[in-house]
Chains A and B, each alone.
Chain A
Amino acid sequence: MEIDPLIFRLSIFILSIFVGYYVVWSVTPSLHTPLMSVTNAISSVIIVGAIIAGLSGNSDSVFNTSSIFGFLAIALAAINIFGGFLVTQRMLAMYKKKKKDK
């Protein structure tokens, strides 16, 4: 009997939780705010689903109820992706070490 592909996805999911657990514990507390903004940005990879939804209309009508929700989700996720990565970059650029001279 073949194994349901769901089991494979579940394995990836469970193992990723453990990876996340160990990786996040190693994040230095002073970077917890950038951690939140970057996790925000990467969880917007949900845009992948939104794109599929947006492209679900046929060639006659790009917009139907289902694809409109897709397009809205694309815009929301895009705000997060650009906003999240850029604000993280802006924050991280501010973390500087003590200057040795002077």
Chain B
Amino acid sequence: MISANLSAIFYLVSGVLFILALRGLSSPETSRQGNLFGILGMVIAITVTFLSTGNFSSGFIFVLIFILAGGSIGALIAYKIPMTAMPELVAGFHSLVGLAAVFVAISAFLNPEAFNLGTPGNIKLGSLIEMSIGAAVGAVTFSGSVIAFLKLQGIMSGSPITFKGQHPLNAIILISIIVLIYLLCSTQSSNLFWILLTVSFLIGFLLIIPIGGADMPVVISMLNSYSGWAAAGIGFTLENTALIITGALVGSSGAILSYIMCKGMNRSFFNVILGGFGATEDTSSSSSKEQRPVKSGNADDAAFLMKNASSVIIVPGYGMAVAQAQHALREMVDTLKKNDIKVSYAIHPVAGRMPGHMNVLLAEANVPYDEVFELEEINNDFANADVAFVIGANDVTNPVAKTDPQSPIYGMPVLDVEKCKSVLFVKRSLSPGYAGIDNDLFYKENTLMLFADAKKMTEDITKNL
């Protein structure tokens, strides 16, 4: 048994180690070391908790059993999961943090003596407020993440689900949560606690169903943030510095990522959360349904164009992940490089289904990270490049975002693909992208459409090179 002061210092140390873990991610070289700091911080926090409770009775054995059981499941998932499934995995993990926060709050509410919070029915007011906020945010994180997971996994349709009176209903539920917390704190009634949890689960579900597939980067980042705030709420209840620091770090991390994602789409956070994008879809796509000529080609034409180029820029998108084309793409690029062609990759901030999704897939395919560039770094290079190879991306290349103020994506930062001497566009069909608008790029003089599955087309091009 160690003193409360000593354990508080150790919790502070593990909090600092978590800060260093995030700091390590500023460059790939330091990131692996950063991850080890994170693991060390976690080991310290858990060990200190054991030492400070000083309880090594039969309960301790069960704690170890549950840690090992959960740990083996987690390790198994971590090794089995394909990289294309990272968005689902992260959404699934968020739901677990949320649910764990809810369970800890329930446990503390039922047995406050164990946490020095008072007695049942007479919990300290401050602790009760913190506990109920932590539980409510945890519940929202859980049910929201489950919906996000189902949508990403394709079990639930990725299209937005909207109904009449959705926004007023959500507003009423949010207000009722605040009222419930107030009533709970003044009456200490356990019935109100269970109602609060139920209503919070419900709002998490309702908040995420109207949000469509391509807005998932914002949703995942937002839920990341929520899971942090839930942890911080529980940290206040338990008076635990490690949890408070971590909760604040994760909360602000998720908030920043949501901000970056929203900026990448030139939309406000509330616009995404209220889920308006799907609603305008029909009008804009039907009005511009005139037939325009497109040039389409085959793998042979594409190989010819690329062979005669001196620099090629690859623009990957979600379609590449769906077709699992990253390895085939790398092989194509290897062949190009053997012919002394300069190749780089251009990544739009919202390409894929979560922040950094494309970067991970390219890294998996052994693409060196110093060949991969962000939008601002590479956008000026398109004018000097010979060929842009767009694979599975669409809206993020649409020049209409710069020219047509009527367009729903007007103002969104896009890759200046049209400035390339020629554009190769791998796509299954001419159908518009997620935003439901036609891409002018399809009809440009210098664009060659390659209608095929991304992986198959890439392999065929490699054969023809």
Contacts and interface: CB of A to CB of B under 8 A. Distances in A.
A41 B66 contact: no
Interface string B87-118: 00110011011011101101110110111000
A1 interface: no
A43 B227 contact: yes
Contacts of A49: 104, 108, 115, 234, 237-238, 240, 243
Interface in B224-257: 224, 227-228, 231-232, 234-254, 256-257
B394 interface: no
A57 B357 contact: no
Interface string A34-69: 111111111111111111111111010011111101
Interface in B29-56: 31-32, 34-35, 38-39, 41-42, 45-46, 49-50, 53, 55
A70 B89 CA distance: 24
Contacts of A50: 100, 103-104, 107
A72 B248 contact: no
A3 interface: no
Given A33-B357, A71-B63, A77 B252 contact: no
Nearest to B55: A55
A46 B66 contact: no
Given A77-B100, A98-B368, A20 B239 contact: no
B58 A85 contact: no
A90 B86 CA distance: 12
A72 B83 CA distance: 28
Contacts of B288: none
Contact of A34 (B62, B67, B89, B360): B360
Contacts of A90: 78-79
B121 interface: no
A12 B247 CA distance: 11
A94 B330 CA distance: 14
Interface stretch (B18-26, B395-403, B408-416, B443-451): B18-26
Interface residues of A, number: 85
Nearest to A39: B250
B71 A81 contact: yes
A6 to B, nearest CB: 6
Interface stretch (B147-155, B275-283, B299-307, B348-356): B348-356
Contact of B38 (A18, A46, A66, A85): A85
B63 A74 contact: yes
Scoring A57, A73, A93 by chain B CB atoms within 10 A of each residue's CB, the highest score goes to: A73
Nearest to A56: B114
Interface string A89-102: 11111111111000
A97 B60 CA distance: 45
B139 to A, nearest CB: 13
Contacts of A83: 73-75, 77-78, 89, 93
Interface stretch (B165-173, B290-298, B370-378): B370-378
Contact of A84 (B49, B79, B93): B93
A93 to B, nearest CB: 7
Nearest to B254: A39
B436 interface: no
Contacts of B360: 33-34, 91, 94
B430 interface: no
A71 B62 CA distance: 8
B311 interface: no
Nearest to A41: B38
B70 A31 contact: no
A95 B108 CA distance: 42
21 contacts: A6-B126, A12-B245, A13-B247, A24-B22, A30-B363, A33-B357, A40-B227, A45-B243, A48-B45, A49-B234, A52-B115, A56-B107, A70-B103, A81-B42, A81-B70, A86-B78, A88-B38, A94-B363, A96-B368, A97-B28, A97-B369
Given A32-B355, A43-B227, A77-B96, 13 more contacts: A21-B256, A29-B355, A42-B21, A42-B249, A47-B46, A50-B100, A52-B53, A53-B108, A56-B111, A62-B58, A62-B62, A66-B114, A77-B70
Interface of B: 11, 14-15, 18-19, 21-23, 25-28, 31-32, 34-35, 38-39, 41-42, 45-46, 49-50, 53, 55, 57-60, 62-63, 66-75, 77-79, 81, 83, 86, 89-90, 93-94, 96-97, 99-101, 103-104, 106-108, 110-111, 113-115, 126, 220-221, 224, 227-228, 231-232, 234-254, 256-257, 260, 347, 349, 354-357, 359-360, 363-364, 366, 368-372, 374
Interface of A: 5-6, 9, 12-14, 16-21, 23-57, 59, 62-67, 69-99
